[in-house]
Amino acid sequence: DGGITQSPKYLFRKEGQNVTLSCEQNLNHDAMYWYRQDPGQGLRLIYYSQIVNDFQKGDIAEGYSVSREKKESFPLTVTSAQKNPTAFYLCASSPDRGGYGYTFGSGTRLTVV
């Protein structure tokens, strides 16, 4: 079955370390997105990519970086510059620029200690 796979489900890191969250899709979708979710704050867009080798900043891009070298993959790196990285991270994809709806992965819970 087609879908989006986020790994790992849970991730623990020490403060000051960079960490990369994986997102892979086999839906042949062009666009991919990263969201951060904190209690009571809904979904906040970090980065998105509408085509391979291109991506744009979302609303809260500071302290994060991404790459889109393959259509199937859109990894997110949480850098040491991100002041409060502990959160639930969601990856999504869509067939085109977005208006037809997103398919979401099951998320990664990152805890920085």
Partner 1 sequence: AQSVTQPDIHITVSEGASLELRCNYSYGATPYLFWYVQSPGQGLQLLLKYFSGDTLVQGIKGFEAEFKRSQSSFNLRKPSVHWSDAAEYFCAVGREDDKIIFGKGTRLHILP
Residues at the interface with partner 1 (CB under 8 A): 4, 6, 33, 40-43, 45, 48, 88, 90, 92, 94, 96-107, 109
Choose between 5 and 17: whose C-beta lies nearer to partner 1: 5
Alpha helices in the chain (DSSP H): none
Token pair in block for residue 69: 């070298």
Minimum Å gap between C-beta 16 and partner 1 is 27
Choose between 45 and 80: whose C-beta lies nearer to partner 1: 45
- Cα(30)–Cα(96) distance, rounded to whole angstroms? 6
Q: List the beta bridge partners of residue 82.
A: none
| 3-class DSSP assignment, residue 103 | strand
Minimum Å gap between C-beta 77 and partner 1 is 20
